[in-house]
Chain A
Amino acid sequence: MKYRISSSRHCLVMVMLSLAAASSNVYAESDYQALQNEVQALRQELSELRALVKQQSASQEDVKSLRQEVKATSRAQSEATNADSVAHIAGYAAVGLTDRSQSGGSAFSVASFNPIFHFLYKDIALAEAELEIAAAPDGTTETKLEYASIDIFLNDNTTLVAGKILSPLGYFRQNLHPAWVNKFPSITPGFGEGQAAPSSEVGLGVRGGYPLGEGKKLKYALYVGNGPELEVDGSEIHGIESDGYTRDVDHRKVVGGRIGLVPLPRLELGISAADGGVGLEGEPDRSYRVLGTDVGYQWKQLDLRAEYISQRVGDLATSVAPDGGTWKAWYGQASYKFLPTKWEGVLRYGKYISPHADQRQEQWAVGVNYLWGPSVMAKLGYEFNQGLAGENTDANRWLLQFAYGF
């Protein structure tokens, strides 16, 4: 019985085992298939990945050539920034519209482009030149050399300037006339070319500054040049032209300069003077004298300035134009930036007195400017003009200008 039991138990175990074996056999077969599929998929994935990695990872050679490229680029970069000589183009462009509907109608009256070229050698020399390329009313193009000079930095306080320079006399002509700097679309009466303020000079000068303590300074500019020439109309001197001449018809140089005092930061007071000769070809020279004074003050968003300038030509009885005369002008201007908006308001008063009634002018001007950036703007202005009846100087006008300093 014991055997029986044991043999029947044995039989049971055998049956169970064979059942288990049969069922596990079934399980193993499908599992194996799945596993095999999985391995196949993984293999596929791996080989794809391998190909991808191979494609993406740089070879030794790639790394080497990349290193060389980086080296060359950084050398070029540091050469560009540390080279002894640097070249740069700056300048400005202006376009504008004038509407003098009371008298002369309206016209798109301004299209000018003034490139400025700069070349700097170490901290020793700067060559600077500005061209004015402007569309003339008759459709031709006017090109003018505004200045071309070589400046040598002699020391911390003295720079030698030589060549065709903006006249160091006064403030507006040399510092404020570019369209993106001038707060109003037009130039104040008397400060235009051939009027009361000298514009250019060909000669030699020194300029610089001395610190006088915290925020205080003395500025100076002294020069000797060929001086201006007279523009004669019949038996009258029509105007004094200071385009910057490379001849000196009167054979007498003009010497002068400006001294500026900065007693407080952002306040500057200046006086200008010049003395010398002016004349006409074949005539003896006659006296030429310039006197000027200027002031500028900035406080927060307010900018105030005023200037007076006069040029006087002596009489000469033996000349074709015996009478001399004084051409003088002054102006005052206030402008205010309404931060944080981009708007700016301007108010200006100016007066120009000349020996000729048709040149005289008195003007009030109001303007509003919109600044897209510090040197990109639209300026809209209105001038209330008083001059000789019937002349352009007597007609009020609207002006619109776009200016961009780059």
Chain B
Amino acid sequence: MLNNSFHWAASLVSAVLLSMAMAGVSHAEPSASVQDDPGHFARGAQAWANNCASCHNLRPAKDLRDDQWRVVVAHMRVRADLTGQEARDVLKFLQESN
């Protein structure tokens, strides 16, 4: 029984490690190159339209302040399984259209 759960916990840890190895661990903080990326806003608009209305009504940029969007987009990144890139793009789009 206990072996069983350890077995599964071990598989989970390996899944984490594998996934980290596949993507390379990086804390993806917005770097200068990301901020200057001209496609950022357009990709963000697209990602927002594709991802943000699949569970609930679309929430427009002016619903929240820029700093609040930082937290909410992180929350939705977990909820909606967004990639880090999608989350950064959506955040850029929401903050710039605010």
Listed in ascending order, the chain A residues whose CB lies under 8 Å from chain B are 80-81, 86-88, 90, 118-120, 122-124, 126, 128, 151, 153-161, 174-176, 178, 180-181, 204-211, 215, 217, 219-224, 251-253, 255, 260, 265-266, 268, 276-277, 285, 296, 298, 371, 374-375, 405
Contact = CB atoms under 8 A, between A and B. Distances in A.
Given A120-B70, A157-B83, A217-B81, 11 more contacts: A86-B71, A123-B27, A153-B77, A155-B25, A175-B55, A205-B12, A206-B12, A210-B83, A251-B1, A255-B12, A375-B59
Contacts, number: 154
B12 A90 contact: no
B28 interface: yes
Binding site secondary structure of chain A: strand
A66 B84 CA distance: 42
Contact of B20 (A158, A211, A252, A260): A158
B59 to A, nearest CB: 5
B83 A90 contact: no
B32 interface: no
A326 to B, nearest CB: 22
B78 A118 contact: no
A222 B10 CA distance: 13
Interface string B59-93: 11001001110111011011101111110000000
Contacts of A265: 49-50
A285 B1 contact: yes
A124 B71 CA distance: 11
21 contacts: A88-B71, A119-B71, A120-B71, A122-B29, A126-B75, A126-B78, A155-B23, A155-B27, A157-B22, A158-B19, A158-B20, A175-B55, A204-B9, A206-B16, A220-B81, A252-B5, A253-B8, A255-B11, A285-B1, A371-B57, A375-B63
**4 smallest A-B Cβ distances: which pairs?**
A156-B84, A253-B5, A374-B57, A219-B81
B71 A209 contact: no
A252 B92 CA distance: 44
B77 A159 contact: yes
- Specify the main secondary structure of chain B where it touches its partner: helix
A296 B79 CA distance: 15
Contacts of B58: 374
Nearest to A118: B71
Contacts of A209: 81-83, 86
Given A156-B83, A206-B12, A255-B12, A180 B56 contact: yes
Given A374-B57, A374-B59, A155 B72 contact: no
B26 interface: yes
Nearest to B25: A155
Contacts of A176: 55
Interface residues of B, number: 49
B55 A123 contact: no
A253 B9 contact: yes
B4 interface: yes
Contacts of A86: 67-68, 70-71
A133 to B, nearest CB: 20
A260 B28 contact: no
A375 B60 CA distance: 11
A159 B78 contact: yes
B72 A88 contact: yes
A154 B16 contact: yes
A204 B12 contact: yes
B63 A374 contact: yes
B74 A120 contact: yes
B81 A156 contact: no
A180 B79 CA distance: 16
B88 to A, nearest CB: 8
A261 B69 CA distance: 26
Contact of A154 (B8, B25, B63, B72): B25
Contact of B27 (A120, A124, A207, A252): A124
B75 A118 contact: yes
Given A175-B79, A207-B78, A220-B81, A123 B29 contact: yes
A257 B56 CA distance: 22
B54 to A, nearest CB: 6
Contacts of B15: 206, 222
